[in-house]
Structure formats: structure tokens, C-alpha cells
């Protein structure tokens, strides 16, 4: 029985991981008020004696625009809270997977981002997540940093759910077509994390540690994702392509969020399904609950 302790309870990845709990894997999700990463002093009391073979930290401050005015809170959770988790894992020699994001990059690269590419976050959110990566590896060099992007699922708030909701209210949508990325279905990501956890919980192997990228195979734009979502849902809604300049936000989003996943495929043998499959499964689940 593999015992996976997940930090976070309501996020898309945490909820997807909890669905995988079964005969050969026990997933325990821990969050507020018992464990609050905004208050790092709550971490040792929970994690010091927690029965677990591996810890997966999915909890984060993710309100990208709001973070600009709540930098203190974003850094408290994404840097200091993550570091507190890593310190306990280091003391217990307990494997740790820390989730991170494509927002550590500025999005100006023409090709897919490698783990070794320089990070230039363009937002408080991105800066706080990068600081969290650095703090985790400083506290526990054997930890795994897992960067992902464009996550969607049947849970919480995400782009696919928003498109389905808007398509029921409008007969035409306008969606940004000049930002590129790889949509990632949270249940696929969760299954991959469990595969990684089994390896990490076994004999120690230095090659399994460090920074890895993982996202749905292939790439598209937000417009392409919206069009595919409508097709999978069988909705004949017009989706007009617009530019980022036509849809200004308080914080700029990376024009290129495509992550190169060759490293994790080579070391862990993991490759997620094409992003279209994730959309198909996600839309089917969402519509089955309508």
C-alpha cells in the first residue's frame, strides 16, 4: 500500500489525486484549517508524525491578478509554506513532489521550454512560485519540482468549465488566439504523479529528483482549446479569435506556455495523452453532471 499525503484539499490536482485512492494506494488530503501554508508554523505539528510514504504539495496561492496586491500572502504560501513542508520532508527523508507552474517563464521563447531554461516571471504569482521552487530545493535538494500548465478538470474553476458555462449563456464567444500552451487534464496529471510516487518511494535514485515539466501532449491556443471544447460538447457556438491586446488583464499572461516534457519521459517513462483526449474526458464528465 502506497501512502500519499497531499497538501491541499480543494484544488483540481488534489481532488483528482483523492479519486485515485483505492486498494493499492491510500491518498490523504490535508488542508486548512488543520494545515495552513499561510501559517508555516502549522506545518510541523501535522507533518512530523503523519504516516506517509511520500508528500505531494498541490496547495498554492493561484489568483494571478489578485496576487499583485497581495504579494505578501502569495509569497507566504508559495514560498514560505512550501519551504516549511520541504524542511519536514528533509528531516524525515520523506520524498516530496512540489507542484509549480509555467508562469516562472516570461513566454518569449519561440520553442517549448526546457527545465534548464532561464526563468523570468512577469507577475507576483510567477515570482512567488519560482521563489517556492528555490526554497524547496534549498531545504530539500532531493525534492521533485513538477511544473505544469493550463490545468483543467471537472473540479473547481478552470477555462474549460468557463467556456461551457458561457456557451450556455451566449451564442458567440471571443477568445485569445495568440497565447500558446498545452492543456493538461488534472486526472491525467494525478495518475502520473502516483506513478512518480511509486518510483520515489522505492530505492533512492538521484536521477528521479530535480525539476521536471509535465503537460498534455501537443499544443494549442486558448482559442483552439475553446473551439475543441465546443466541438466535444456538441455545441455550435461561434468562437472568434482575438489578440491578447483585445482582452487586457491586470497581469500579462505568457504568450508561450509550452513545456518540453522529454526529460520526464526519459527518466520516468511518463507521457500524458494528447490534450484533446483530456478535453474529451473532461467535457464528458462535466456534461454528465448537468
Using one digit for the tens of pLDDT, what is the confidence trace for 84-108? 999 999 999 999 999 999 999 999 9
On the question of pLDDT at 204 being above 70, the answer is yes
Model pTM score: 0.96
Residue 35 confidence (pLDDT): 92
| Beta-carbon count within 10 A of 39 CB | 15
CATH number of the domain where residue 88 is located: 3.40.50.720
Residue 239 maps to a domain: no
Residue 221 maps to a domain: no
Residue 137 confidence (pLDDT): 98
Q: Is 57 left (phi over 0), alpha (psi -120 to 50) or beta?
A: beta
Residue 41 confidence (pLDDT): 87
For 144, the domain range is 2-158+183-216+258-272
81 close to 40: Cβ distance less than 8 angstroms:
yes
Residue 86 maps to a domain: yes
125 is catalytic: yes
Mean pLDDT score of the chain: 95
Query: How far is CA 230 from each of CA 137, 168, 171, 172, 239, rounded to the nearest angstrom?
Result: 41, 11, 12, 11, 9
pLDDT band for 73, please (50, 70, 90 cuts): very high
Q: How many domains does the chain have?
A: 1
| Stretch 12-40: mean pLDDT | 93
Q: 145-196 pLDDT, tens per residue? A: 999 999 999 999 999 999 999 999 999 999 999 999 999 999 999 999 999 9
On the question of pLDDT at 261 being above 80, the answer is yes
Residue 278 maps to a domain: no
Residue 149 maps to a domain: yes
Which residue out of 61, 103, 125, 268 is catalytically annotated? 125
Amino acid at each position: 500500500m502506497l501512502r500519499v499525503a497531499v497538501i491541499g484539499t480543494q484544488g483540481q490536482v488534489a481532488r483528482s489525486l483523492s479519486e485515485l485512492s483505492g486498494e493499492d494506494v491510500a491518498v490523504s488530503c490535508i488542508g486548512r484549517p488543520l494545515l495552513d501554508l499561510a501559517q508555516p508554523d502549522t506545518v510541523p505539528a501535522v507533518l512530523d508524525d503523519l504516516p506517509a510514504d511520500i508528500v505531494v504539495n498541490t496547495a498554492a496561492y493561484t489568483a494571478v491578478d489578485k496576487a499583485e496586491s497581495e504579494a505578501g500572502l502569495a509569497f507566504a504560501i508559495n514560498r514560505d509554506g512550501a519551504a516549511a513542508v520541504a524542511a519536514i520532508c528533509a528531516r524525515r527523508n520523506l520524498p516530496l513532489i512540489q507542484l509549480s507552474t509555467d508562469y516562472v517563464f516570461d513566454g518569449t521563447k519561440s520553442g517549448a521550454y526546457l527545465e534548464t531554461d532561464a526563468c523570468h516571471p512577469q507577475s507576483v504569482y510567477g515570482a512567488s512560485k519560482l521563489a517556492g521552487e528555490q526554497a524547496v530545493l534549498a531545504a530539500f535538494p532531493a525534492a521533485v519540482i513538477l511544473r505544469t500548465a493550463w490545468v483543467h478538470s471537472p473540479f473547481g474553476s478552470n477555462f474549460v468549465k468557463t467556456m461551457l458555462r458561457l456557451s450556455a449563456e451566449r451564442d458567440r464567444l471571443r477568445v485569445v488566439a495568440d497565447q500558446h500552451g498545452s492543456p493538461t487534464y488534472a486526472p491525467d496529471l494525478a495518475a502520473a504523479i502516483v506513478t512518480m510516487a511509486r518510483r520515489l518511494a522505492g530505492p533512492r535514485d538521484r536521477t528521479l529528483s530535480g525539476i521536471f515539466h509535465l503537460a498534455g501532449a501537443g499544443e494549442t491556443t486558448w482559442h483552439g482549446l475553446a473551439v475543441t471544447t465546443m466541438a466535444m460538447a456538441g455545441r455550435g457556438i461561434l468562437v472568434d479569435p482575438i489578440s491578447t491586446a483585445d482582452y487586457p488583464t491586470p497581469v500579462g499572461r505568457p504568450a508561450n506556455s509550452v513545456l518540453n516534457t522529454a526529460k520526464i519521459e526519459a527518466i520516468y517513462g511518463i507521457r500524458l495523452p494528447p490534450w484533446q483526449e483530456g478535453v474529451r474526458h473532461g467535457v464528458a464528465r462535466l456534461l454528465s453532471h448537468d
